[in-house]
Amino acid sequence: MRLGVLTGGGDCPGLNAVLRGLVRRGVQELGYEFVGILNGYEGLILPDLTMPLGLNEVRGILTKGGTILGTSNKADPFAYVTKEGGVNVTKDMSETVLKRIKALKLDGLVVIGGDGTLTMAHKLGQRGVNIVGCPKTIDNDLSGTDQTFGFDTAVNVITEAIDRLHTTAEAHQRVMVVEIMGRNAGFLTLEGGIAGGADFILIPELPYEVDKIVSRIQEMYEAKKKFAIVAISEGAFPRGGGQAVAQKAEDIPGRGVVRLGGSGKVLADLLAPHVEAEIRVTVLGHLQRGGTPSPMDRVLATMYGSMVLDLVRDGKWDHMVCLRGGELGFTSLAESRKERHVDPVGDKVRMAKAIGISFGV
């Protein structure tokens, strides 16, 4: 069995741990051979973007963030953007991908990615490619699994950031707004906010009301807790308003979706006229995606990397590995790649509210 392996979409801690788990089991236990495809699907669209992927290549990478294969969130085989005569042209390159898979003599492809990457994987599967998937993203927004690797590490970064913001907020009696990634899902903000002891958690699933936040801040300052920490998702927005967009989809050739950013500044501007205390905004940005994976993500990523080979061995193509109720399992790519959201009336939100955390609603 000769398998191509690619990492697609935004990187996250644990990608290398997956590669290590995959190659170590594949080579040692199953006698498989691996070919590393570079820069996501780009490595199947453009020539000469492969590398050997054996035991030597995966040695010492367990603790490394990023991905030794490189990645791209702009290389869709079905809508690939290239420049022709100085202008952007979108092309369906799926035929080229199929030919390259054949030329590389691959029996199958292991795709490690989030919803975009796995959607493309499923579409290639429908064109006859043997594909299995592995769910990655710090956002934890894939419907097919309770947890993606990368999420836990990002929650750790967010928690530490909020811890640090507490001390400076208190010293200056300020309102500290911290903007957190996650696209349209509030999992990172919810978990990081609870773990960090934020006073407010504002998520896309619950559009916030400015007057509710203002009156709560006033109550807090009157009750002598003279600082406030507001954890806000990049995708959160005021009721009746829209998301803060850093870059429109049409300005990012090949990406197909907007880049969010600026929700913290929007909130600060809305609060400023009504709040006496100084307001400062911290955008955590890509700090949440960088660095070494947490022990939990190393374990999950290693398990996913190793377990995905059960699917290959059993010919269970068009499936991905997942975690359900604490157990490793698998699910069909058709179902699993859909976007998942925080349940606004779920236990975590209810219990956070019960201990006095405001969602601004």
Residue 81: CB minimum distance to ligand F6P, A: 15
Residue 160: CB minimum distance to ligand F6P, A: 18
Give the C-alpha separation, 263 to 180, whole Å: 9
Side chain identity at residue 120, one-letter code = M
Among 24, 164, 259, 353, binds ligand F6P (CB under 6 A): 259
Q: Which stretch binds ligand F6P (CB under 6 A): 31-39, 53-61, 136-144, 158-166?
A: 136-144
Residue 9: CB minimum distance to ligand F6P, A: 7
Residue 137: CB minimum distance to ligand F6P, A: 5
Q: Is 138 in the site for ligand F6P (CB under 6 A)?
A: yes
SS3 357: coil
Give the C-alpha separation, 302 to 18, whole Å: 5
255 vs 319, beta carbon nearer ligand F6P: 255
4 vs 186, beta carbon nearer ligand F6P: 186
Q: Is 311 in the site for ligand F6P (CB under 6 A)?
A: no
**Dihedral class, residue 291 (left if φ above 0, else alpha if ψ from -120 to 50, else beta):** left
Q: Can 269 be counted among the known catalytic residues?
A: no
Going by C-alpha positions, the residue among 312, 336, 337 that lies closest to residue 131 is 312
123 vs 259, beta carbon nearer ligand F6P: 259
Among 18, 157, 244, 260, binds ligand F6P (CB under 6 A): 260
**Dihedral class, residue 144 (left if φ above 0, else alpha if ψ from -120 to 50, else beta):** alpha
Going by C-alpha positions, the residue among 190, 136, 185 that lies closest to residue 158 is 190
Q: Is 277 in the site for ligand F6P (CB under 6 A)?
A: no
Going by C-alpha positions, the residue among 310, 292, 349, 339 that lies closest to residue 22 is 310
* Catalytic annotation, residues: 139
